[in-house]
Homo-oligomer: A and B are copies of this chain.
Amino acid sequence: MVQPSVYSYENIIEAALEILREDGWRAVTTRAIAKKIGSSTMPIYSRVKSVDDLEKDVRIKAREVLKEFQRRPVTPDTLLNVAFGYVAFARDETNLFRYLYLERPEKLSSEDSSGMSETFVSDFGDDSEEKKALETLQRTGHDELVQYTWIFVHGLATLVTSGTYASISDESILRFLTNAGQAFHAWSTKDDSKDV
């Protein structure tokens, strides 16, 4: 080895994530990354094939941040924590949320369109408490409940990023979620509409 490289792949991805958090996806340019790590644009192209390629790993990093939010034990209910974390993430990391779910949503294959609620726990391992809790709910016939709840959760998170509920408190989020959950639960278990 003649000359050790100064700027690592990790440096580059971290810098890109920082810029994404602070100023959104359109600010993530090769020159901005270079400026952030204090180099020219060349080291980036030595480590990464293209910007499209770099984006994949930035997306993974962004999802890891979301997972941290969803893992926080805010309540004893694992799935409520996942939902709360989703909304809190939208509030506190608006640019990351907008990037993941609004501006640059991943194309999902048409096959898994039935299991949309799985996408909300897709970053948790197959043997994670979160995923097991969700599957238990679905196996016990509460599939619709899960579906409706996640539509609501996603709606709330999206409105948080749009400014409508921009500075919503933790308590308000929990109130929204528990109330909606209660409403859907009561509806899904009532007698006279078994087969709706």
A158 on the interface (CB 8 Å rule)? yes
Please give, as numbers and ranges, the residues of chain B lying within 8 Å of A154 by CB-CB distance: 155, 158-159
Query: Can you tell how many copies of this chain the complex includes?
Result: 2
Of A39-47, A52-60, A183-191, the one with at least 4 CB within 8 A of chain B: A183-191
Q: Which of B113, B179, B186 contacts A164 (CB 8 A)?
A: B113
Cβ contacts A to B, 24 pairs, < 8 Å? A102-B102, A108-B163, A108-B164, A110-B166, A113-B165, A113-B166, A116-B164, A116-B165, A148-B176, A148-B179, A151-B152, A151-B155, A151-B176, A152-B180, A154-B155, A154-B158, A155-B158, A175-B196, A179-B187, A180-B184, A182-B187, A183-B183, A186-B186, A186-B187
A88 on the interface (CB 8 Å rule)? no
Please give, as numbers and ranges, the residues of chain B lying within 8 Å of A183 by CB-CB distance: 148, 183-184, 186-188
